[in-house]
Amino acid sequence: MKRLFLFGLVFLSSFSLVYAQEREERRRGLYVDVGLGFGGVSYFGGGAKATADGFKETAEMRMTIDIQLLTIGWALMQNMYLVGTIPAVGDAYFDADMNQSQISVAMYGIGARYYPLPSKKYLQLGLDAGLSARSILSNNKEGDPGYGFSGRLSAAYDFDSTMTGITALLGGALMMNALEGDASLSYALFFKLAFK
């Protein structure tokens, strides 16, 4: 009888522990992330392509940086956040004297971060859309800014499978930009730190 009582007590305590952990995972709210990545940009016609081709002629080195300046949002469901986001892509060209020319695009958008596999929470998908601004820096002078629209897709591996807490993400992103008749597609591998 004593063994049966102990078995029942252990069973109930383990059940209550699992239930408490599930309740804890469901308490989701704030989401914040920042990140940095490296990749490339392809330009499709228009003034941006002509500018980039001109930079390439004198460049000794090219480096494209993808910066996730800030993403902040709130959980709408157990596995999805609504976010506001500011990603930027800087396509820099350096000549032999290390003088820099650069084409940059920053997006101010809204989007979602979605965990599609409820039992395994390692995969995060992102979709963002918004207004964007392009700036061109050449010979330490900024050209006239351009404005348009951008969309961004991302997929990342979340190193923390729990639904809440501090985590790191490793993934890839594609960002399509349409600015005043120009179009470009940037791609990058990134690393992010997040609180969820």
Domain boundaries of the chain, sorted by first residue:
28-195
Q: How far apart are CA 158 and CA 156, in angstroms?
A: 6
Q: What's the CATH number for 28-195?
A: 2.40.160.20
Q: How far apart are CA 74 and CA 4, in angstroms?
A: 46
Q: What is each CA distance from 169 to 94, 134, 175, 186, in whole angstroms?
A: 30, 27, 18, 19
Taking the whole predicted model, whether its pTM rises above 0.85 is answered as no
Q: Which residue has tokens 């050209």?
A: 143
pLDDT tens string 116-168: 987 677 999 999 999 999 999 987 777 778 899 999 999 999 998 787 889 99
Kindly compute the dihedral angle of the four CA atoms of residues 133, 149, 39, 193, in this order, to the nearest 10 degrees.
Answer: 80
